[in-house]
Chain A
Amino acid sequence: MKYFDEYRDEQLAKNISRQLKETVTQNWTIMEVCGGQTHTILQFGLEQLLPPNVELVHGPGCPICVTPLALIDKAIAIAQQPDVIFCSFGDMLRVPGSKSDLLGVKALGADVRAVYSPLDCLAIAQAEPERKVVFFAVGFETTAPANAMSVWQAKRMGLNNFFLLCSHVLVPPAMSIILESSSNRVQGFLGPGHVCSIMGYKEYIPISRQYRIPIIITGFEPIDLLEGILRCVIQLEEKRAVVENQYGRALTEQGNLAAQALLKEVFAIIDRPWRGMGVIPKSGYKLNSEYKQFDAELAFDVGSVDTVESSICISGEILRGVKKPVDCPAFAKQCTPENPLGATMVSSEGTCASYYKFSRLEKKEASHV
């Protein structure tokens, strides 16, 4: 398959692995930001191709994981309203709220549907003018343009029964928070490739400058990640700190201007709470005043639900790269994908869930590589 197979080539991987081993002279800790990148690293066993002194820690790039529990409870409450068709990406359907989850309320009669694209919701809204269609708009900057287009189009079509429940988060503020922390161990970043295909990578330059840290904007295939790691190690060894673009086939420094324009048109930047990390200033989007008629939080008054997070969950430290899942006493015991206690286990792309699926036994059993 074009644009896949070339980036999964074993010989190329061995080549880069060898170059890495020849280049590195001391220990380095690198964080990959995106959940999709974490998934690839674990799925392909990439860490086994790295020299032992390069350590990868996994970042907070899983928007499902960082969606606050209170918002999930709100989503569930809205879904249970009789005239609502609640639409969501598939992986949100199993995220537990305080008492249930979206698929659970569907079993009790709520109209909850998995969709692939927010545009699909507009067709549903047109087909069912008597019902209210609500879309759970969770995501980073990669997904925001799709959601922006859906409300922009809804306005153009004159739809008054389409709503967005917004949980958009932005990457650069989260990176700054990680670097600000006194327990930060991250010395270099693999930046978010698809986020930057939208936003460009200008925003990462001040971060690289302020914290004197190399940031390699990296893709998602195994060869992309290996190349990103190699470039990062070269910078670290040469004591450099600039933003590099590994994913040149997919993005440029300025990003996607058409998408950025619509984001400005539709959204306003606000402070957002990140599950496990607290409120991060200017780290999220909400619909601005021109589009507030589509805001589900304004249109539906569902009161507040008491939300209680698990006291033993260490998601916050995992999201910041300070700890790994195996450092958590509950990992793979009380806390599993079937019974997640917190943010990083709830989504199949959360660090703990990825570890559980791909490698939780390796530390105990496999010293074979």
Chain B
Amino acid sequence: MSDLSQSAAIFAPVCPIPNDTSDVIKLGHGSGGKMSSDLLDNVFLPALSNKILDQLDDAAVMAINDTRLAFTIDSYVVSPIFFPGGDIGSLSVYGTVNDLSMRGAIPAYISASFILEEGFPIADLHKIVESMKKACLETNIQFAAGDTKVVNRGAADKIFITTCGLGILQYNPAPAANRAVPGDVVIVSGDIGLHGTAIMCARESFELETTIQSDSAPLNELVQEMLKTCPAIHCLRDITRGGLATVLNELASASKVGIEINESAIPVDAQVASICALLGLDPLYVACEGRLIAIVPDNEVEGLLNTMHEHRLGKNAQIIGKVSQQYPERVFMKSRIGGQRILDKLAGEQLPRIC
């Protein structure tokens, strides 16, 4: 199978529509950016919309009798399947744990379905499953159900994993994308762009030697500590495909507020910055897998930051901006040299630029 699928999780190039008029799925529909949300708006929501789905948050919250639950699902198609800092197995568990955590839920149960390509080495499958087992133990989530399908050679790229997670909600109201209000402060938990650049470097074609690793990690413990200190956190969102800029846009949109950030406050590792500079990528749009954005009331910031700094996954947490009532649903960034620009959702592709 071509290595087009490798881009799906990270860069998902957007096909410019060819001159013929047939409507087909393009890679860009999986990018997490504008085309993805258009697909949602045009195809899925008209058919499936209901109050729960319409939350459109990292995980849905619902109540069964008096028990409040968080429920989520995600697919993992990353290539290469083994990369510096993780593999598709650990990624799939952490990803689901993180989605549950973003609603303040304690991760409880996870199920997974595996689509395997004919010819995929069982030894590799062993490694991936071991990795998932480790991740489940680490996060206290219990593997409850699974399914396996095998498809002909070429119909899938080695292995695709879909994970579904269930968590118990602890806080009411739960953090939600639509709860940000003007005056709130925007915090990032650490440096951005590691996962996407680590994946890029794992591909041989660019021959970049680097020590960076994916930031793939479970955020549940960090979030639990954060919520203990500050139960009033308004929004939590983990930064995944589409990068920091896309997440901020989603929050601005959902809460119908403006968000203003400072470029000089955004932490970026020097090697990530170099790789992005060499290839002409913008770290603001590069995927992470172990970083979150928190939007919190102004008076809670100091306490929250102290808590985050004590945790290994929050030690570089920074204030990067604030929520404003100007320019609702837009994200503005003040650049390092003082000029301002709009930070839009990932619209087109981030293919390496040579220009």
Residues of A within 8 A of B (CB): 1, 4, 8-10, 13-14, 17, 35-36, 39, 42-49, 62-64, 89-91, 93-96, 98-101, 103-104, 106-107, 109, 113-116, 120, 139, 143, 222-223, 226, 336-340, 346-349, 353, 356-362, 365-366, 368-369
Bound CA–CA A114/B4 (angstroms): 11
Within 8 Å by CB of B15, from A104, A113, A120, A361, lies A104
Bound CA–CA A62/B355 (angstroms): 7
Contact B355 A64 (CB under 8 A): yes
Q: Contacts of A96 on B, CB cut-off 8 Å? A: 16, 18-19
Contact A361 B330 (CB under 8 A): yes
Question: A140 to nearest B CB, angstroms?
Answer: 9
- B177, CB-defined interface residue at 8 Å: no
Question: B302 to nearest A CB, angstroms?
Answer: 26
Bound CA–CA A223/B13 (angstroms): 32
- B312, CB-defined interface residue at 8 Å: no
B27's nearest neighbour on chain A, judged by CB, is A103
- B325, CB-defined interface residue at 8 Å: no
Contact B326 A45 (CB under 8 A): no
The stretch that binds A, out of B214-222, B234-242, B288-296, B343-351, is B343-351
Q: Contacts of A62 on B, CB cut-off 8 Å? A: 355
Bound CA–CA A362/B280 (angstroms): 24
- B338, CB-defined interface residue at 8 Å: yes
Bound CA–CA A47/B340 (angstroms): 9
Contact B337 A103 (CB under 8 A): no
Question: A115 to nearest B CB, angstroms?
Answer: 6
Contact A106 B2 (CB under 8 A): yes
Question: B34 to nearest A CB, angstroms?
Answer: 8
Known: A91-B351, A107-B2. A366 touches B15 (CB 8 A): no
Contact A90 B354 (CB under 8 A): yes
Question: B152 to nearest A CB, angstroms?
Answer: 16
Contact A337 B18 (CB under 8 A): no
Closest 4 CB pairs of A and B: A45-B339, A337-B348, A90-B352, A13-B337
Contact B205 A98 (CB under 8 A): no
Contact B355 A44 (CB under 8 A): no
Bound CA–CA A368/B279 (angstroms): 33
Bound CA–CA A365/B327 (angstroms): 7
Kindly name the residue among B18, B348, B354 whose own CB sees the greatest number of chain A CB atoms within 10 A. B354
The stretch that binds A, out of B104-112, B162-170, B247-255, B270-278, is B270-278
Q: Mark B326-339, 1 if CB is under 8 A from A, else 0.
A: 11001010011111
Within 8 Å by CB of A43, from B19, B332, B341, lies B341
Contact A4 B277 (CB under 8 A): yes
- B20, CB-defined interface residue at 8 Å: yes
- B342, CB-defined interface residue at 8 Å: yes
Bound CA–CA A139/B350 (angstroms): 19
B332's nearest neighbour on chain A, judged by CB, is A366
Contact A93 B355 (CB under 8 A): no
- B353, CB-defined interface residue at 8 Å: yes
Q: Contacts of A14 on B, CB cut-off 8 Å? A: 338
Interface of B is mostly: loop
Question: B266 to nearest A CB, angstroms?
Answer: 13
Contact B273 A369 (CB under 8 A): no
Contact A143 B341 (CB under 8 A): no
Bound CA–CA A358/B333 (angstroms): 10
Q: Contacts of B18 on A, CB cut-off 8 Å? A: 96, 99-101, 104
Q: Contacts of B339 on A, CB cut-off 8 Å? A: 44-49, 369
Bound CA–CA A116/B277 (angstroms): 13
Q: List 8 A-B contacts (CB under 8 A).
A: A10-B338, A36-B355, A44-B341, A46-B339, A95-B16, A109-B2, A226-B337, A348-B280
Within 8 A of A (CB), among B254-275: 264, 270, 273-274
Within 8 Å by CB of B327, from A4, A47, A49, A366, lies A366
Known: A339-B16, A366-B327. A222 touches B337 (CB 8 A): yes
Contact A99 B342 (CB under 8 A): no
Bound CA–CA A194/B351 (angstroms): 22
Contact B354 A340 (CB under 8 A): no
Q: Contacts of B17 on A, CB cut-off 8 Å? A: 338-339
Contact A94 B270 (CB under 8 A): no
A8's nearest neighbour on chain B, judged by CB, is B336
A222's nearest neighbour on chain B, judged by CB, is B337
Contact B337 A101 (CB under 8 A): no
Question: B80 to nearest A CB, angstroms?
Answer: 15
- B14, CB-defined interface residue at 8 Å: yes
Question: B28 to nearest A CB, angstroms?
Answer: 6
Q: Contacts of B351 on A, CB cut-off 8 Å? A: 90-91, 93-94, 114, 348
Question: B331 to nearest A CB, angstroms?
Answer: 11
Within 8 Å by CB of B337, from A46, A64, A143, A353, lies A46
- B35, CB-defined interface residue at 8 Å: yes
A62's nearest neighbour on chain B, judged by CB, is B355
Contact A366 B336 (CB under 8 A): no
B333's nearest neighbour on chain A, judged by CB, is A45
Bound CA–CA A99/B19 (angstroms): 6
Contact A44 B335 (CB under 8 A): yes
- B207, CB-defined interface residue at 8 Å: yes
Contact A94 B337 (CB under 8 A): no
B326's nearest neighbour on chain A, judged by CB, is A368
Bound CA–CA A357/B251 (angstroms): 19
A50's nearest neighbour on chain B, judged by CB, is B339
Q: Contacts of A115 on B, CB cut-off 8 Å? A: 205-206
Within 8 Å by CB of B348, from A107, A348, A359, lies A348
Q: Contacts of A42 on B, CB cut-off 8 Å? A: 341
Kindly name the residue among B4, B274, B278 whose own CB sees the greatest number of chain A CB atoms within 10 A. B4
Bound CA–CA A120/B344 (angstroms): 34
A146's nearest neighbour on chain B, judged by CB, is B354
Q: Contacts of A10 on B, CB cut-off 8 Å? A: 264, 336-338
Q: Contacts of B330 on A, CB cut-off 8 Å? A: 361, 365
Q: Contacts of A48 on B, CB cut-off 8 Å? A: 338-340
Q: Contacts of B19 on A, CB cut-off 8 Å? A: 96, 98-99
Q: Contacts of B206 on A, CB cut-off 8 Å? A: 115-116
Bound CA–CA A9/B263 (angstroms): 12
Question: A243 to nearest B CB, angstroms?
Answer: 24
**Can you add 6 more A-B contacts, CB < 8 Å, to A116-B278, A357-B348, A358-B341?**
A1-B274, A47-B339, A91-B352, A338-B347, A366-B327, A368-B340
Bound CA–CA A90/B11 (angstroms): 12
Q: Mark B84-127, 1 if CB is under 8 A from A, else 0.
A: 00000000000000000000000000000000000000000000
Within 8 Å by CB of A94, from B20, B280, B282, B349, lies B349
Q: Contacts of B349 on A, CB cut-off 8 Å? A: 94, 337, 348
